[in-house]
Every structure is written in structure tokens, then in C-alpha cells.
Amino acid sequence: MSEQLEAYYGLPREIRFCKRCVMSNQRPSSYPEFKHTKDRITPTLHIDEDGVCDACRYAEKKEQIDWAAREKELEMLLERFRRNDGRYDCIVPGSGGKDSAYAAHLLKYKYDMHPLTVTWPPILYTDYGWQNFRNWIEVGGFDNISFRPNGRAHKLLTRLSIENLLHPFQTFILGQKNLAPKIALQYDIPLIFYGEPEAEYGNPIAETNSSLRDKSYYAMSNLAEISLGGVKAQELMDRYGLSLNEISPYFPADYRDLERKEIAVHYLGYYIKWTPQEAYYYAVEHTGFKARPFRTEGTYSKYNSIDDKIDDLHYYTTFIKFGLGRASYDASQEIRNKHLTREEGVALVKRFDGEVPQRYFEEVMEYLEIEPERFHALCEQARSPHLWVKENGQWRLRHPVWEA
């Protein structure tokens, strides 16, 4: 029946779940965030003829990789760029979460690099997120550049991203992905390291054939291709009164500048076997990272993506738009890393996915100057008919994973 119903966001009408994890083919692949508009069509998680998704296939592939050989490749790369003249030789973007803490510490203390850490701060820091950021720098021992954008513009763009895209996290993602290459240009730093590749979670498995991040994600050629909050850059200036100076911090770097200075963005997870739980333990030991003091709403975990008070709302909106909440994401990666069985993952998704986040909701709405009723109305409008049905005044998923 779902094949006859309208599907929003370019999602496939036929809903399929991976037989190994709890992720479905409704999960969109990563997309250049600065091109995100209402009518974008994005590839979604590929599930093969045997019913296995690309992320699970990559987890299978990781068991066959010669990680000792990959580490030698990393050492050769670092040897080419390591500096001993007091300058930085690589950048690690992050806000002090477990993955950026792990990456920066490994590069500095195991591989004798000289990383500059770069932070686009969360929209609204949690208390423990702020402390983890401080610990990353002070306990871990790193230099850091933090760039906090114009508060008026930031609030407006975040509000537009919710109203037009139901995407509370867009302004953070834009900065997280685009700031580091621009800092690299200014400081003449040739290497940037992110943690694990997006293919760990569902991007096409072909992306794992290289350590390099595709430049289409962080390079631009002209203003016409830029959209923020689902609005073209020129319209933001003409209609909303934002200046080019106020919106340019959200832009990616110019591809010509990146090519001229030969700036490259690598995934450290290409060279080192990446396991989120191990990154957590490492960050606790070496940089003073602390988990949330309570369970995160919408899931069962305490240490994933906890820096921003808007995080919980972001994952709630993925549940509304794609039928996949935070527990689905957490459980899927833990199943792939053999920390959960699929049966356990299904039970956790059934219990926690789609839990309405209450802890910071009023504060976030007040900050963004959005009436709570307005936000809930936007959620109502965003439910794709092929995913959702309303019965007796209550929404339910047509095809939940526990019935697949």
C-alpha cells in the first residue's frame, strides 16, 4: 500500500530494512549542506539484493582490511607534512566530543603531529558539553580556534532551517564542515582530519576506497549555488536583510583557493579502525571526557552527540521526516560493531525511537523565538504519507522495524 502513497523528500516509496542492523532505506546519504533546499533529491541508504545495507557491508569489509598496512600509509602521509618549525601541520575540527578528542590526541601524542583544533560551537552548549570542550583543550593539551558567528544571523538562519527544512541542526553542520578548510587556508595548514567516514553510517560504500573527503562537500564555485535555511543566498540578502558579510561564515571555501594551496581533507578512520565505543573510552582516559549524567531522550545512550541542547530536537526531526530516530542510529552502529544483537537493537528502537525531547525544548524554542505550537505544526506537515498514518488522533509508523 505504501507504494501508492506520496513520499516526501525524494524517499523511496517501498520501505526496506536491513536484515543485519535496524536502519532502513529511508536514511538519506550525506549531501552538501550548503545546497540543501526543500526540493532536493538525495540518494538514500542502499540495501542490496541480500537485504544488507552498505553500512553493514562496510563493517564486514573492515574485518578484512590490513590495518597495520593502513597505519603505515598514515605514517607515510604524516611524515610528508610533519613540521618541526613551530607551525601547525594539521587541523582537527570538533567541539570536544569523543571522536574529535580521540583524533586530536592520537595525532599529537602517538604520531608526533602538531594539530590545531578548530571549533564551530554548538548552537546552545549543554553544561557537560561545555565542560568536555574545556577538558579537550586543557586536559588533552591543544591549541584551539573557536569561531562564534553573529548571534542575530545565526538565530535567523537556524529558525529558517526549521521552518523550511525541519532541520534544527543545519547551521551547526554548515560550520562544522566548512570552517576548518577556511582556517587551513588562512594558516597555511595542508591537512585536515575528520574521524570516521560517513560510509560507516550509510553513505555509498564506494566512498571508502579513499581517505579523502569529496570536495563537493566543502568547496564552492559561486554564490548562486548557496542556500542556507532553504533560502538562496541572494534572497537572504534581498528579503531578510542579511549582508554578504553576515552569511559568508556559513559558506564553504572557494575551490580555487583549496586547489592552489593543495588543502586536503582526510578521514582518520580510513587509516585506523574506528569504533565509537572505543573512542569514548579513549577520550575519557586521555582528555577527561564525561558522558551525559542521564540517558539521552530518544535513545538509550549517554555519550553520543551531547554537546548541543538542540541535538535531541534534531534527532526527533529525523524520526518525523524519515521514520528513523536517535535509537535507530545508535543501535545500528552498535550492532555493526557487535555490541548489540539485532534483536536487542529492535527492542531498543521500539522503546525509545521518537521520544519527544522535553528537557531543553522550551529553552530552545525561546532562544529561536518559535512558538512551541508552531514547531509541532511544522512536524505535522513534515510527516510523509508513505511513512505515517493517523489513527484515533495518534500518529504511528506504517512499517516499523519490529514489524518488518
354 backbone dihedrals φ, ψ, rounded to 5°: 80, 5
Q: pLDDT value at position 207?
A: 85
Task: Please state the domain extents for the chain.
Answer: 67-271
Q: What is the pLDDT of residue 199?
A: 84
The span from the CA of 183 to the CA of 265, in Å, is 12
Whole-prediction pTM: 0.95
Q: How far apart are the first and last CA of the chain?
A: 14
**Judging by DSSP bridges, how do beta strands 231-232 and 253-254 pair with one another?**
unpaired
Q: Is the separation of the CB atoms in 103 and 78 below 8 Å?
A: no
Nearest CA among 255, 264, 252 for reference residue 212? 264
User: Average pLDDT of each block of 10 consecutive residues along the chain (404 residues)?
Assistant: 81 97 96 90 93 96 96 98 97 94 98 98 95 97 97 97 97 95 97 92 87 93 96 97 98 96 96 94 96 94 93 96 97 96 98 96 96 97 97 95 93
| pLDDT single digits (tens) 220-262 | 999 999 999 999 999 999 999 999 999 999 999 999 999 999 9
Predicted confidence at residue 203, as pLDDT, reads: 86
Look at residues 91, 116, 105 and name the one whose alpha carbon lies nearest to residue 181.
91
The rounded distance, in Å, linking the Cα atoms of 269 and 333 is: 14
CATH annotation of 67-271:
3.40.50.620
Amino acid occupying residue 334: E
What are 122-179's pLDDT values in tens digits? Answer: 999 999 999 999 999 999 999 999 999 999 999 999 999 999 999 999 999 999 999 9
Residue-level pLDDT at 10? 92
